[in-house]
């Protein structure tokens, strides 16, 4: 049975005991007194604050026990039967003579006949967080303590829009430490004065009406935009005057990922980068995505060519049509033609019925030809016809099939060099290379590393439903000074490995993959002259490859897997740097 603002024990003390245990978990002191004013229970936090053992207090008159804690003016036993409306802040000393700033609140405990059978008093120690709540009135202190322990992001602002409170979950989601953000305008975590979130919050302060946003955005300390769901409400003082606003928000990263997985849609939010070279790429993609131009994406393994192709398709007029991927390096040469263009019944042994190819599946949409540099010369001619005439023959058929597809191709090999070596048709190269985008290696955009690390960690934690751990300075130093031959894919592998091992609140060096620890130790021990020479990126990559190959006893498959690259890519790099020759 529940009575508003009071506690009804319905004939027993079980509920009170549960409350005392819950409050203990929040470091909030609490004790109960029965109808004869004898102390009936007392949690550990209250014992520590007051400096008494429960054996010294239980069964004794509260007025004799709590000599240093003056009674409330509105004691629940003084006839009203209502909870105390005051929350006086008092100073008490514990057994070590340490002074504590404590907010106190009392409430009646009701029995089954709705008569007052006791009282529960709550003591909240604010000394450990006094530096965080200097900006707010003492009447709000108990509320702030509770808000700081919730698994939802919360911050408050004054009427001028400056942040006055920022809880722990808000710190974790935004990346800001509260010492950095308190006193700053709320526009610091949103996209400027005109942002929807800022407008909603200001409107709420003006008219006092609560609002919500199901598709809000927040800007993290690293400058990454994340999706949030937020609620906005007005804060009022004891006279009912609006003195500020409060926002609660949830990180929707996982929800967004699930929606993308279902819809197959990707946005620029999925590609992270603040470096000038990445910003230039985003500008180009933003323009070309809305056209039907054929696009060639070049870049090393693990740089994100696949993701960029999906982003372009999702931003195009064909976004509601199919996106079909063909990995030209993964399909055997003798099956590649039938996979791409399909076949008719009887075209070869086992062809018992007609089958559509990938180009036909992609009609009206986009086809992504990954690793186009590995396409056999014989098939290149047929692909050229599709580009020129928008039609092709299915294997074993005499009738052409017309398609309307946009072609995006990608290669980790330089197609221009392959043309010079006569390994790729020049005419096809020119048809594919209408608009070329070259994705940089991670070593060429190291300014993006902190942003990428934070973004990937948030995404991986959201996938697992885990809390985001802190990254120690030592770990960040190791991650920022590594060269990443496997690029972003290798960074993702490293962080996924790290999260699996880390069962603590802070990531330590021992949680990193062993090869990274080995590399860091070897790199740190290198002579100063050698380190200077390592400024040359190729030499640095060569050193990493040698270190990794030695660590895995020159086992190329294991080395390639650890580096997040294909065996063929590793083989090409070994040849390039003449390792072992």
Residue by residue, DSSP assigns 42-87 as: E-HHHHHHHT--HHHHTTSBHHHH-TTSPPPTT-TTTTT-S-----
Q: Report the pLDDT averaged over residues 403-408.
A: 94
Cα–Cα distance measured from residue 550 to residue 463, given in angstroms and rounded to the nearest whole number: 34
Q: Report the pLDDT averaged over residues 400-413.
A: 93
- 150, 157 Cβ separation under 8 angstroms: no
pLDDT at site 563: 73
Where does the pLDDT of residue 244 fall: very low under 50, low under 70, confident under 90, or very high at 90 and above? confident
Least confident of 248-257, 308-317, 474-483: 248-257
Q: Which residues of 261-297 are buried (b: 16+ CB within 10 A; e: fewer)?
A: eeeebbeebbbbbebeebeebeeebeebbeeeebbbb
**CATH (residue range 150-251):** 3.30.450.20
Single out the residue of 412, 308, 424 nearest to residue 366, CA to CA. 308
Instruction: Give the SS3 label for residue 475.
Output: helix
The string of pLDDT tens digits covering residues 57-79 is 888 888 777 665 555 545 655 54
pLDDT at site 406: 95
Catalogue the E-assigned strands of 94-224.
Answer: 99-110, 116-125, 153-158, 163-166, 211-219
Residue 101 has pLDDT above 70, yes or no: no
pTM of the model: 0.56
Kindly report the number of other CB atoms within 10 A of residue 113's CB atom: 7
Kindly report the number of other CB atoms within 10 A of residue 97's CB atom: 7
Where does the pLDDT of residue 93 fall: very low under 50, low under 70, confident under 90, or very high at 90 and above? low
What class has domain 7-129? alpha beta
Cα–Cα distance measured from residue 85 to residue 106, given in angstroms and rounded to the nearest whole number: 9
Cα–Cα distance measured from residue 305 to residue 371, given in angstroms and rounded to the nearest whole number: 10
Q: Report the pLDDT averaged over residues 222-237.
A: 82
What class has domain 265-438? alpha beta
- 130, 114 Cβ separation under 8 angstroms: no
Kindly list the strands in the beta sheet with 406-411, ordered across the sheet, starting from the edge strand earlier in the chain: 323-327, 366-370, 406-411, 295-298, 435-438
Instruction: Give the SS3 label for residue 559.
Output: helix
Place of tokens 């004799």: 64
pLDDT at site 331: 87
Q: Report the pLDDT averaged over residues 35-43.
A: 85
The percentage of residues in the chain with a pLDDT greater than 70, rounded to a whole number, is 77
The rounded mean pLDDT for the chain is 78
Cα–Cα distance measured from residue 192 to residue 162, given in angstroms and rounded to the nearest whole number: 13
Domain extents in the chain: 7-129, 150-251, 265-438, 444-577
Residue 86 has pLDDT above 50, yes or no: no
Least confident of 100-114, 180-194, 340-354, 435-449: 100-114
Kindly report the number of other CB atoms within 10 A of residue 401's CB atom: 18
The percentage of residues in the chain with a pLDDT greater than 90, rounded to a whole number, is 18
**Sign, CA torsion 388/393/399/403:** negative
Single out the residue of 107, 139, 144 nearest to residue 122, CA to CA. 107
Q: Report the pLDDT averaged over residues 200-220.
A: 86
Please indicate whether residue 135 or residue 95 has the higher confidence score (pLDDT).
Answer: 95
Write the CA distances from 155 to 19, 121, 233, 240, 328, integer angstroms: 27, 28, 11, 20, 51
Check residue 398 and report its DSSP letter: S
pLDDT at site 217: 86
Tokens of 40: 């009936």
Where does the pLDDT of residue 128 fall: very low under 50, low under 70, confident under 90, or very high at 90 and above? very low
Single out the residue of 233, 361, 367 nearest to residue 309, CA to CA. 367
Check residue 269 and report its DSSP letter: G
pLDDT at site 508: 93
Cα–Cα distance measured from residue 257 to residue 458, given in angstroms and rounded to the nearest whole number: 12
State the fold for domain 444-577: Helicase, Ruva Protein; domain 3 (1.10.8)
pLDDT at site 140: 53
Q: Which residue pairs, CB below 8 angstroms and at least 24 apart, start in 49-55?
A: 49/92, 49/94, 49/100, 49/102, 49/123, 49/125, 50/92, 50/94, 50/123, 51/93, 51/94, 51/95, 51/96
Beta-strand pair 342-343/355-356: antiparallel
Tokens of 92: 């008490």
Fold match, 7-129 / 444-577:
no
**Sign, CA torsion 61/66/70/74:** negative
Residue 103 has pLDDT above 70, yes or no: no
Residue 226 has pLDDT above 60, yes or no: yes
Cα–Cα distance measured from residue 567 to residue 559, given in angstroms and rounded to the nearest whole number: 8
- 341, 393 Cβ separation under 8 angstroms: yes
Please indicate whether residue 430 or residue 124 has the higher confidence score (pLDDT).
Answer: 430
pLDDT at site 270: 61
Kindly report the number of other CB atoms within 10 A of residue 21's CB atom: 12
pLDDT at site 255: 57
Please indicate whether residue 523 or residue 201 has the higher confidence score (pLDDT).
Answer: 201
Cα–Cα distance measured from residue 352 to residue 361, given in angstroms and rounded to the nearest whole number: 20
């Amino acid at each position: 049975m529940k009575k508003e603002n009071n506690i009804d024990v319905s004939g027993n003390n079980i509920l009170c005991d549960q409350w005392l245990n819950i409050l203990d978990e929040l470091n909030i002191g609490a004790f109960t007194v029965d109808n004869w004013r004898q102390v009936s229970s007392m949690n550990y936090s209250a014992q520590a604050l007051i400096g008494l053992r429960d054996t010294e207090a239980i069964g004794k008159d509260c007025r004799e026990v709590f000599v240093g804690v003056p009674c409330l003016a509105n004691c629940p036993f003084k006839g009203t039967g209502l909870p105390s409306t005051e929350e006086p802040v008092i100073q008490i000393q514990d057994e070590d003579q340490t002074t504590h700033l404590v907010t106190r609140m009392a409430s009646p405990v009701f029995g089954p006949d709705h008569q007052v059978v006791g009282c529960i008093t709550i003591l909240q120690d604010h000394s450990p967080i006094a530096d965080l709540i200097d900006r707010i009135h003492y009447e709000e202190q108990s509320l702030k303590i509770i808000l700081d322990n919730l698994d939802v992001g919360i911050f408050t602002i004054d009427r001028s829009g400056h942040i006055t409170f920022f809880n722990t979950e808000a710190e974790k989601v935004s990346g800001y430490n509260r010492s950095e953000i308190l006193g700053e305008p709320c526009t610091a975590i949103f996209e400027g004065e005109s942002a929807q979130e800022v407008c909603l919050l200001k409107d709420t302060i003006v008219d006092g009406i609560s609002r919500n946003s199901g598709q809000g955005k927040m800007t993290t300390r690293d400058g990454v935009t994340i999706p949030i769901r937020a609620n906005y409400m007005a804060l009022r003082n004891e006279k009912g005057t609006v003195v500020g606003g409060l926002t609660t928000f949830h990180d929707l990263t996982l929800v967004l990922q699930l929606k993308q997985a279902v819809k197959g849609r990707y946005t620029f939010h999925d590609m992270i980068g603040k470096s000038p070279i990445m910003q230039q790429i985003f500008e180009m993609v933003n323009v070309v995505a809305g056209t039907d131009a054929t696009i060639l994406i070049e870049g090393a393994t693990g740089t994100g060519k696949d993701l960029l192709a999906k982003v372009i398709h999702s931003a195009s007029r064909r976004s509601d049509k199919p996106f079909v991927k063909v990995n030209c390096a993964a399909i055997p040469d003798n099956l590649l033609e039938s996979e791409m263009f399909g076949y008719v019944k009887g075209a070869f042994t086992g062809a018992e019925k007609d089958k559509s190819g990938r180009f036909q599946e992609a009609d009206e949409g986009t086809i992504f030809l990954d690793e186009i540099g590995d396409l056999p010369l014989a098939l290149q001619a047929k692909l050229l016809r599709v580009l020129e005439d928008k039609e092709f023959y299915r294997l074993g058929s005499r009738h052409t099939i017309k398609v309307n597809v946009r072609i995006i191709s990608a290669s980790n090999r330089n197609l221009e060099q392959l043309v010079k070596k006569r390994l790729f048709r020049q005419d096809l190269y020119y048809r594919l290379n209408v608009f070329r985008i070259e994705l940089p290696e991670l070593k060429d955009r190291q300014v993006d590393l902190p942003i990428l690390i934070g973004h990937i960690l948030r995404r991986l934690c959201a996938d697992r439903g885990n809390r985001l751990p802190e990254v120690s300075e030592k770990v960040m130093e190791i991650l920022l000074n590594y060269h990443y031959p496997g690029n972003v894919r290798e960074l993702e592998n490293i962080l996924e490995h790290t999260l699996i091992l880390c069962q603590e609140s802070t990531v330590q060096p021992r949680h990193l993959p062993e090869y990274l620890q080995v590399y860091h130790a070897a790199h740190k021990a290198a002579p100063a002259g050698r380190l200077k020479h390592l400024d040359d990126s190729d030499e640095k990559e060569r050193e990493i490859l040698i270190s990794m190959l030695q660590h895995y006893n020159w086992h190329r498959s294991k080395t390639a897997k650890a580096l997040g690259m294909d065996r063929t890519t590793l083989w090409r790099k070994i040849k390039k740097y003449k390792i072992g020759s």
